[in-house]
């Protein structure tokens, strides 16, 4: 399902430990880490899609979590050009998401990544609340920052201000790109290597 603007409706899940840390998972066969997320079916509400994705990607059931909050509308991000499948009948240029903040009320042993034939994740850990904004793939950083800023007050009510401090400045998506250092002409010919470029 893709809307007329080319965005696929999607839900994102911030699963929080009562101490304020959040669930951070590694995608199968990839180096990328992210929050659970997934597309909505045409007959689903965002809440229904969230519970389905929660079960598929983490093994958790509604009785294992408490919904603390949700973003009031869609948050959007665009896919990088290399990820857009232009030969498809309907071209998807990005995702529009409703984000949910959940508190884990079950046990860590309730978390299961292997309940489907094609698991989304192969490893997970708890990280500080704002950690994902700086460590998710660059093109998702803006939407992660927006979602966490909106959900932080509800998280703070549960975990406290020390666990969920006020956010810092908005991340610059290009800030972590490798920088090229000046290299005088002929440096390569002298056999020198520049670790900032390689």
The model's pLDDT over 75-129, given as tens digits with 9 standing for 90+, comes to 999 888 766 766 666 778 889 999 999 999 999 999 999 989 999 999 999 999 9
Instruction: Show the CA angle centred on residue 162, arms to residues 20 and 124, nearest 5°.
Output: 25
Amino acid 187: pLDDT: 41
Q: What is the DSSP letter of 184?
A: -
Residue 176 has a pLDDT of 44
The answer to whether residue 179 scores a pLDDT higher than 50 is no
More confident residue, 60 or 173: 60
Nearest to 39 by CA among 27, 48, 30, 26: 48
State mean pLDDT over 54-62. 97
Q: What is this structure's pTM?
A: 0.81
Q: Are strands 94-104 and 65-70 parallel, antiparallel or unpaired?
A: antiparallel
CA separation (Å) from 137 to 19, 74, 79, 145? Answer: 25, 20, 11, 12
Which position has the higher pLDDT, 188 or 51? 51
pLDDT at 93: 81
Given the DSSP bridges, would you call strands 7-16 and 94-104 parallel, antiparallel or unpaired?
parallel
Coil, strand or helix at 186: coil
Mean pLDDT calculated for residue range 132-154: 96
How high is the pLDDT of residue 87? Answer: 62
**CA–CA gap between residue 28 and residue 39 (Å, rounded):** 18
What DSSP line would sit under 38-92, residue for residue?
EEPPTT--HHHHHHHHHHHHH---GGGEEEEEE-SS-EEEEPPGGG--TTSSS--
Q: How confident is the model at residue 185 (pLDDT cuts 50, 70, 90)?
A: very low
pLDDT band for position 189 (cuts 50, 70, 90): very low
Q: Are 159 and 128 in contact (CB under 8 A)?
A: no
Q: What was the pLDDT predicted at 13?
A: 98
Neighbour tally for 181: CB within 10 Å: 9
Residue 196 has pLDDT above 60, yes or no: no
């Amino acid at each position: 399902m893709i809307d007329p603007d080319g965005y696929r409706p999607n839900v994102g899940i911030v699963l929080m430990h009562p101490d304020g840390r959040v669930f951070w998972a590694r995608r199968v066969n990839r180096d990328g880490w992210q929050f659970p997320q997934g597309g909505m079916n045409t007959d689903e509400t965002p809440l229904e899609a969230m519970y389905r994705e929660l079960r598929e990607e983490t093994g958790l059931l509604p009785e294992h979590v408490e919904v603390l909050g949700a973003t009031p509308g869609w948050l959007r991000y665009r896919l990088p050009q290399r990820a857009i499948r232009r030969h498809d009948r309907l071209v998807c240029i990005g995702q529009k998401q409703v984000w949910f903040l959940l508190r884990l009320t079950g046990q860590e042993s309730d978390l299961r990544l292997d309940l489907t034939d094609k698991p989304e994740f192969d490893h997970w850990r708890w990280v500080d609340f704002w950690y994902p904004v700086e460590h998710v793939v660059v093109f998702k950083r803006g939407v992660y920052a927006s979602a966490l800023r909106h959900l932080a007050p509800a998280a703070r009510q549960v975990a406290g201000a020390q666990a969920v401090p006020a956010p810092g400045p908005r991340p610059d998506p290009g800030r972590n790109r490798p920088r090229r250092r000046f290299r005088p002409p002929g440096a390569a010919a002298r056999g020198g290597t520049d670790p900032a470029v390689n």
